[in-house]
């Protein structure tokens, strides 16, 4: 099993796709946003009522009822009417789905949110956090009982093809095989590495030094500049029409 935070879903018609499962930090941020919204809503209502009614006890009572309704009803309402997204989840592009990738129903939402009572224990979702940490799909108790997952839904775009600057010279490519023998996951690693824009030059160099020698040895070239070598290698791989080394082309 690959060590990443995705999970594969197979639908009844045998379509398979992968979800990126949301981790604790992202979910915590969404929770804080929701908490803030609920707090502000109760506060705003309190101010309005205090002006309108003036009776401190009655205002307190109504605020308690509203706080209660929000505490238990907020998530159920937004998750059912907003296709599995509370406002905080929406802000962090999270969505609650059933384990099979289906939308959650009212009952699922009620159940997963009722179980917050157990996840919250002893204080501040400690049990929930421990349970999530022990699950490959980051499900808290409520998610497990209701059979739901929280996934990240980010729009991705087809990136522009990678370019190599300056353009490779014939001398540089000397000794590279026409079709470098790389497995699909090695090619993927290479591409993901080259697409990383957030690396510092030193880190980029460091990473390249870790992988370049092994690949260079396999294809029998000597490496002067590891970063450049990886770019050249990718260039050569991309130029051949991406056949999969370990599979018969379809």
Partner 1 sequence: MRPQDEFVAARQPDWAELEQLLALGRGFRKLPPVSIARAATIYRAVSSDLMRAQAAGYSPDVIALLDGLAARAHNTLYSAPPYRMRAVWELVAADFPRTLRRHARFFALAVALFVLPGVLGFAGAMRSRAFALQILPAESVEQMEEAYAEGFGKGRKAGVNTFMTGFYVFHNVGIAFQCFATGVLFGLGSVFFLVYNGLTIGAVAGLVTAAGHGRNLLTFTCTHGAFELTAIVIAGTAGIVMGYALVDTRGRTRLGSLQARAREIVYLVVGAALMLLVAAGIEGFWSPSGLPDRVKWGGAIVAYLLVISYLTFAGRSGQARGEPQAEARP
Using CB under 8 A, which residues numbered 76 to 115 contact partner 1? 80-81, 83-84, 95, 97-98, 101-108, 110-111, 114-115
Nearer to partner 1, 90 or 223 (CB): 90
Say which residues have a Cβ less than 8 Å from residue 129's Cβ, sequence separation at least 6.
24, 140
Nearer to partner 1, 148 or 172 (CB): 148
Nearer to partner 1, 1 or 201 (CB): 1
- Matching residue, tokens 């870790």: 210
Nearer to partner 1, 139 or 223 (CB): 139
Using CB under 8 A, which residues numbered 179 to 208 contact partner 1? 184, 187-188, 191-192, 195
Nearer to partner 1, 49 or 227 (CB): 49
Nearer to partner 1, 27 or 112 (CB): 112
Say which residues have a Cβ less than 8 Å from residue 50's Cβ, sequence separation at least 6.
56, 59
Q: How many residues bind partner 1 (CB under 8 A)?
A: 72
Using CB under 8 A, which residues numbered 36 to 55 contact partner 1? 55
Shortest Cβ 187–partner 1 spacing (Å):
7
Distance of alpha carbon 65 from the chain centroid: 36
Q: Considering the rule CB under 8 A, would residue 9 count as an interface residue with partner 1?
A: yes
Nearer to partner 1, 91 or 213 (CB): 91
**Which residue of 32, 36, 48, 68 would you call a contact of partner 1, by CB under 8 A?**
68
Shortest Cβ 236–partner 1 spacing (Å):
15
**Which residue of 35, 44, 58, 133 would you call a contact of partner 1, by CB under 8 A?**
58
Mapped to the 3 state alphabet, what secondary structure does the chain carry? CCCCCEEEEECCCCCEEEEEECCHHHHHHHHHHHHHHHHHHHHHHHHHHHHHCCCHHHHHHHHHHHHHHHHHHHHHHHHHHCCCCCHHHHHCCEEEEECCCCECCHHHHHHHHHCHHHHCCCCCCHHHHHHHHCCCCCCCHHHHHHCEEEEECCCCCCCCCCCCCCCCCCCCCCCCCCCCCCCHHHHHHHHHHHHCCCCCHHHHHHHHHHHHHHHHHHHCCCCCCHHHHHHHHHHHHHHCCCCCCCCCCC
**Which residue of 179, 203, 218, 242 would you call a contact of partner 1, by CB under 8 A?**
242
**Which residue of 72, 168, 193, 211 would you call a contact of partner 1, by CB under 8 A?**
72
Shortest Cβ 163–partner 1 spacing (Å):
13
Shortest Cβ 222–partner 1 spacing (Å):
28
Q: Considering the rule CB under 8 A, would residue 61 count as an interface residue with partner 1?
A: yes
Per-residue tokens: 104: 């959650």
């Amino acid at each position: 099993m690959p060590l990443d935070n995705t999970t594969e879903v197979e639908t009844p018609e045998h379509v398979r796709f992968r979800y990126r499962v949301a981790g604790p930090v992202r979910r915590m941020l969404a929770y804080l946003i929701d908490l803030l919204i609920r707090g502000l809503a109760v506060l705003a209502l309190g101010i309005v009522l205090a002006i309108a009614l003036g009776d401190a006890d009655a205002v307190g009572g109504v605020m308690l009822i509203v706080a209660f309704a929000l505490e238990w009803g907020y998530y159920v309402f937004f998750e059912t009417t907003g296709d599995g997204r509370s406002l905080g989840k929406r802000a962090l592009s999270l969505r609650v789905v059933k384990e099979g990738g289906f939308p959650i129903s009212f009952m699922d939402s009620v159940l997963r949110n009722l179980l917050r009572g157990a996840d919250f224990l002893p204080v501040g979702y400690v049990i929930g956090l421990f349970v999530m940490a022990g699950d490959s799909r980051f499900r808290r108790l409520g998610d497990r009982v209701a059979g739901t997952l929280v996934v990240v839904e980010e729009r991705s775009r087809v990136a522009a093809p990678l370019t190599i600057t300056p353009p490779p010279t014939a001398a540089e490519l000397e000794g590279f095989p026409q079709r470098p023998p790389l497995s699909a996951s090695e090619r993927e690693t290479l591409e993901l590495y080259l697409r990383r824009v957030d690396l510092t030059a030193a880190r980029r160099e460091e990473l390249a030094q870790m992988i370049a020698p092994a690949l260079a040895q396999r294809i029998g070239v000597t490496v002067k500049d590891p970063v450049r070598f990886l770019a050249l290698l990718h260039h050569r791989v991309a130029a051949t029409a991406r056949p999969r080394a370990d599979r018969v082309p379809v």
